[in-house]
Chain A
Amino acid sequence: MTSSIEKPLTGKVPLDGSALDLPAYEQAGGYQAIRKVLSGGMTPKAVIAEVKNANLRGRGGAGFPTGSKWSFVPVGKDVPNPTYLVVNADEMEPGTFKDRFLMERNPHQLIEGAIVASFAIEADIAYIFLRGEYTLAAERLTRAIAEAYERNYLGKNILGSGYSLELHLHLSAGRYICGDETGLLNALEGKRANLRAKPPFPVVVGLFGKPTVVNNVETISCVPHIINNGAEWFHGLSRTKDGGTKLYGVSGKVKRPGLWELPMGTTVREILEEHAGGMRDGVKFRGLLPGGSSTPFIVEEHLDTPMDFTEMPKVGSRLGTGTMIVLDDQTCPVGMAWNMTKFFARESCGFCTPCWSGLGWAERILLSIENGHGKPDDLGKLSAQAKMWGPGATFCALAPGAADPLETAMKYFRADFERHIAEQRCPWR
C-alpha cells in the first residue's frame, strides 16, 4: 500500500468489497505468525508477554489489557480440560459496524489471530460467536475456516507442531445481551443469555465451567501483526499510550459516513472533519456519541480529544467501540434519547428490576415528552431513574450504558428538553 499511514488490519483488503482470499492473505505475510510461534520460535508465555508489552487493549469497548487477561488463565497439568477461546463477534452496539468489516473482508486474519491467542492460553477449542444477522460474514468465515483446516492451520498437530486446535463458528439467534461475555457464554451453552456473577471470572470458570478467554474480533485481528512485527512496532502505530491502530467509524448526517483504520489516539475532530468530510451541507454539528449508543455524549468543546481509552474518560465519555454517531441540528435530541432508551428497554434481559422496569418507564416518559405531553417533573424523574441504573445498581453494563447517553443528553441539550415540555410539542416536527 502506498498510504503513508500503516494499516495492518485493513491495508491489504481488496477495494471491490470482496474478501482478502487465502492466497492473497498468505502472500501478504499471512499465517507467518502461527509458523513463528508453532515452530518453537515463541513459547505461550512469550506470546502473552509480547501482547502485554504491545499494550493491546480490548476493542469490544471495555479496553481491558488483552495480555493481562490471557495471563490470568490457569495453565499446567492440574488445570481442568479443555481451555476455550471465544471470539466475541456479536457486534450489536447501535452505531457500530467495524467487526462486520474485519470478518467480511479479512476472515483469515481473524482465524490466524484466534490460533495464536489459543496457543498463548493453551486452548484446545475455539469458537467464533457470530450474530445471526451477519450472513455474509458467516459465509466468508465458514469458507475461510474450511480452507484453514485444509492447510492444517487448524485441526490436529498443526503444521507438525504437536499443537491441536478445533475452531467452530456459532451463529447466534440475536439478543444484545449476548455481547456481554458471561451472557455470551450462557448463549453458547444453549441457554438464555442471562448474566453470571463474577467472580469467578470466565478466565477461571467460563464456558462449560472451564477456563475461557473471550476477546473481541478487532482485538484478535491485531494479534498476528503483533507477533510478526513486535510490541514496539505495534506501540509505534499509536499516537498515545494505548497501542496499535483503531477502526474508527462515523454515521449520521456527515458528508462521507464510513470506517477508517487510523492510529489509536487520532482526535475526534480529525476523524469527523477530515475522514468523514464534516457535516452535510445545510446541517450543523451538535454533539456525538464517540463509540456506540452506550457512550456519553461529547460536544464541540471536546472535539480535539484523542480517541483512545485513556483520554476520552477525561472529557466524561468513553472510547467504546470507536464508531461515532453524530447528532445534527435538524435531528431532535429528545427523540434520539427516546430511540436509544427504547433500544435498551427492549434488549434488557429482564434480570434486574432497575433495568427491566426503569428503562421501560424512562422510555415512556421520553416518548410522552416527544409527543407534547411532557410534565414539569419529568426531567427530575428521568435523572432519578438514570441514577438507579448506575454501575453497581444492576448486574451488568446494559443499564449503566443506557444511563450515560440519557444523562449527557439532558446535560448538553437541556434547553431542548425544557422547550418540549414548555411548548407541549417537539420543535423539530
Chain B
Amino acid sequence: MLTAEEIQEIEGEAAHYPKREAVSIDALKIVQKHRGWVSDESLRDIAEHIGMSPTELDSIATFYNLIYRRPVGRHVISVCDSVSCWIMGCEQMRKHLQQRLGIGLGETTADKRFTLLPTVCLGCCDRAPALMVDGDLHTDLDPQKIDGELENYK
C-alpha cells in the first residue's frame, strides 16, 4: 500500500499534467525515494493508484536508468563511464572501487551499505573523472580521494 505521504506527493505532481498517467515517472521516483527501490508490490500499487496496467508501468520503470527494480544499498554509487571520464581514467577508478568494495557493477555490498552502478555522462567533464553518491557529485577524483569521500556515507 502507498503511504499517505507518498499519495500526497504523487497528487502534487499529478496536478501539473492534464493526463493522470503522465505522473507515472514522478510516482515511481517518489516511491523509490521513500523505499529505496520499486518492488513488484510497489509497482502494482502505483499502477492501480494512477490507473495504468502494472505491465505498462513496468515497461516504463525498466526503461529509465534511475528507477531501481531491484533492492539497492543505503547509498548508490554511480560511476560515470562516458568518454571524457574514460580519457581521464574512470576505468582505474571503477577497478579501485570494485576491489575496495568487493563487488562488481550492479551489485551491493554484503552490509547493504553501497550499490555500484555505471552511469552515463554526468555533465562535469571539465572535472573528470566523476561519480555521484546518491544525489551528491564528486569530481576530479583519484583512488585516494574516493576513499576519503566514501567515509561520509555510513
Which residues of A come within 8 Å of B, CB atoms?
91-97, 99-100, 127, 131-136, 168, 170-176, 187-193, 208, 249-253, 257-259, 289, 293, 323, 325-328, 331, 335-336, 339-340, 343, 346-347, 349
Contacts and interface: CB of A to CB of B under 8 A. Distances in A.
Size bracket of the B interface:
35 or more
A325 B87 contact: yes
A173 B66 contact: yes
Nearest to B57: A190
20 contacts: A91-B123, A99-B123, A133-B123, A170-B26, A171-B26, A173-B66, A173-B67, A174-B64, A175-B64, A189-B21, A190-B22, A190-B25, A190-B60, A193-B63, A249-B125, A249-B126, A253-B87, A293-B82, A336-B87, A343-B120
B87 A327 contact: yes
A133 B120 CA distance: 10
A95 B120 CA distance: 10
Complex A-B, nearest 10 residue pairs according to Cβ-Cβ distance, in ascending order: A173-B64, A251-B125, A174-B65, A94-B82, A190-B24, A257-B126, A135-B135, A190-B22, A94-B121, A251-B84
B87 A331 contact: yes
B18 interface: yes
B63 A175 contact: yes
Nearest to A289: B83
Contacts, number: 140
Nearest to A252: B87
A429 to B, nearest CB: 11
B25 A133 contact: no
Contacts of A339: 81-83, 86
A133 B132 contact: yes
B81 to A, nearest CB: 7
B143 to A, nearest CB: 19
Contact of B84 (A94, A131, A136, A187): A94
Contact of B123 (A134, A192, A289): A134
A97 to B, nearest CB: 5
Contacts of A327: 87
Given A135-B135, A192-B59, A94 B25 contact: no
Given A132-B66, A173-B66, A343-B83, A191 B19 contact: no
Interface string B107-118: 000000000000
B83 to A, nearest CB: 5
A97 B120 contact: no
